[in-house]
Each structure stands twice: as structure tokens, then as C-alpha cells.
Chains A and B, each alone.
Chain A
Amino acid sequence: MRSAGGYTEYHPRWYRKRVSTYWWLHSWAYFRFILRELSSVSVAYFVVLTLFQIRALTRGPQAYAEFESPLIIVLSVISFLFVVFHAITWFNLTPSAVAIRIGGKRLPDILIAAPNYAAWVVISATVAWFVLGG
């Protein structure tokens, strides 16, 4: 393997300490990170649930009325908590990507994230208004 930069191939063998498979259980921050990443499973659950509901809706009133189960409610409660976690962590990323300076001073993170939350409220209300029959 010859790469740019004229390095010789005679480098020492890399020493890499093996990381435990359960590294993410070792600290709350790591565990939180894994929970945040796993929120994507709840997003996928939501899509699948939505598609099944659409299918039931297109199959007639009876099929739609029969489409319910305690399992769906349990999964939806868990998934709801996860997608809210996803939304909050996603909105709070904005200050890491955007730095606004006013008069040489950096705007506090919370003020940069705030418009996300305002938009979240407006968008949620709009969706609810359409669904509940505006």
C-alpha cells in the first residue's frame, strides 16, 4: 500500500486497545448518545404504523375501525418519547453549526435554538388543525 506523501511502508504496527462491546454502558453521556441514535428506530416505527393505517383506511371503514391493538399503543408511547428526544436533540444541534455574533459577542446557544422550538409549536399546531378538521 503506497500512499501520497512519500511515507515508507515501514511503520510500526498499530496498537489499538480493544474497546468493550458495552462501552456505551460505561457513562451516562455514552448511553444518552446511543439512546439518541436509537430514536431512529422509532422514526421507522412511525413510518410503518402510518403506512398500515393508510392501508386500513383505503380498505374501508370496517378495516380502519378494526386496526387497533394494545401492542400498537405500547409501542407508540415508547416511540413518542423517543421522537420527542430526537426532536429536542436535533434542535439543540443548531448552535453547534451556526454561530451568530452581535457586536463581537456570540449569541447564546439558547437564543439560536429558540426559533426551532417556536417553529415546532407552529408546525405541530398546523398539522393538528388539518387532522382535527380545520
Chain B
Amino acid sequence: MMPKKSNEPFFWSLFSAGGVLTAFLVPVQLFLFGLAFPLGWLDAPGYEKLLVLLKHPLTRVYLFLLCFLGLFHWAHRFRFTLYDGLQIKHLNEVIFTFCYGGAVAGTVWAGYLLWNIH
């Protein structure tokens, strides 16, 4: 009897890659754009300057990967937090759809936004 093929290694590898990428990059970016600029701790770069940076293809590829892997990192980890933490295994399918559906939707949105910058 062949063992049933599992998708878990695939999802786990996305979780893991997202874990590494977000650990290195999210703190600094969230500090700058979520705290330091809105609170005026640092002088925010001007609108034009940011737009030039955003338009660069490498910036867009970088942001796409960060969003894509960050969301799949969330999906996997949050799914198991709900399974184990709240022990709501009977809602497995709902949780699965919510988590990975959310990650796919966010990734598509990121791709759409970043592709359509002119």
C-alpha cells in the first residue's frame, strides 16, 4: 500500500522560508514605516523619493517575495495555533481555507499592486 501523499512538507517549507525572511526584514521595515516615520522620530523620505524606490524592479520583486512568503508563514503558523491552542480540530477545513485562502488572496493582491506601478 502506498502511503498517502501529504502537502505538509510543501506548506512547511513556505512557512520556514517565510520565517527566515520575515525575521531578518520585518522588524526594521515595521520600525521605519509603522513607528519612526508616523511618530516623527526620523525624517520620512519624500513622496517622490519613495516612489522612485518603489518603481525599481528589484524593490518590487523584493516586496513581492516578502509579502508572499510572509503570508504563507502566517497561514501555516496561525493554522496550527488554532488547531492546538483552541483545539478546534473539527473546524479543520474552515481554518485551512481561511488561512491559505487568505494567503493566496494577499499574494495575488501584492502581485497586482506591484505589477501595475507606472
Count A-side interface residues using an 8 Å CB cutoff. Answer: 50
Cα A19 to Cα B49 in complex, Å, equals: 55
Task: Choose among A24, A76, A87, A130 the residue that contacts B53 (Cβ–Cβ < 8 A).
Answer: A130
Q: Counting CB contacts under 8 A, is B27 at the interface?
A: yes
**A interface majority secondary structure:** helix
**Are B87 and A21 in touch, CB under 8 angstroms?**
yes
Cα A124 to Cα B81 in complex, Å, equals: 29
Count B-side interface residues using an 8 Å CB cutoff. Answer: 51
Residues of A at under 8 Å CB distance from B? 4, 19, 21, 24, 34, 37-41, 43-44, 46-51, 53-55, 57-58, 61, 64-65, 68, 72-73, 75-77, 79-80, 83-84, 86-87, 90-91, 119-120, 123-124, 127-128, 130-133
Task: Please provide the chain B residues from 28 to 65 with a CB less than 8 Å away from any CB of chain A in the complex.
Answer: 28-35, 38-39, 42, 45, 47, 49-51, 53-54, 63
Q: Count CB-based A-B contacts (< 8 Å).
A: 146
**B interface majority secondary structure:** helix
A50 and B25 in contact, given A58-B117, A73-B35, A130-B53 (Cβ under 8 angstroms): no
A22 to chain B, nearest CB (A): 9
Task: Choose among A50, A65, A87, A130 the residue that contacts B33 (Cβ–Cβ < 8 A).
Answer: A50
Q: Which residues of chain B are within 8 angstroms of A54 by Cβ–Cβ distance?
A: 54, 63, 113-114, 117
B47 to chain A, nearest CB (A): 5
Task: Choose among A37, A51, A124 the residue that contacts B77 (Cβ–Cβ < 8 A).
Answer: A37
B48 to chain A, nearest CB (A): 8
Scoring B18, B23, B114, B117 by chain A CB atoms within 10 A of each residue's CB, the highest score goes to B23
Query: In the complex, which residue of chain A has the Cβ closest to the Cβ of B39?
Result: A73
Task: Choose among B20, B29, B30, B47 the residue that contacts A57 (Cβ–Cβ < 8 A).
Answer: B47
Task: Choose among B34, B87, B113 the residue that contacts A49 (Cβ–Cβ < 8 A).
Answer: B34
Query: In the complex, which residue of chain B has the Cβ closest to the Cβ of A21?
Result: B87
Query: In the complex, which residue of chain A has the Cβ closest to the Cβ of B50?
Result: A57
Cα A55 to Cα B116 in complex, Å, equals: 10
Q: Counting CB contacts under 8 A, is B24 at the interface?
A: yes
Q: Which residues of chain B are within 8 angstroms of A19 by Cβ–Cβ distance?
A: 87
A51 and B113 in contact, given A37-B77, A40-B81, A83-B22 (Cβ under 8 angstroms): yes
Q: Which residues of chain B are within 8 angstroms of A21 by Cβ–Cβ distance?
A: 86-87
A73 to chain B, nearest CB (A): 5
Q: Counting CB contacts under 8 A, is B71 at the interface?
A: yes
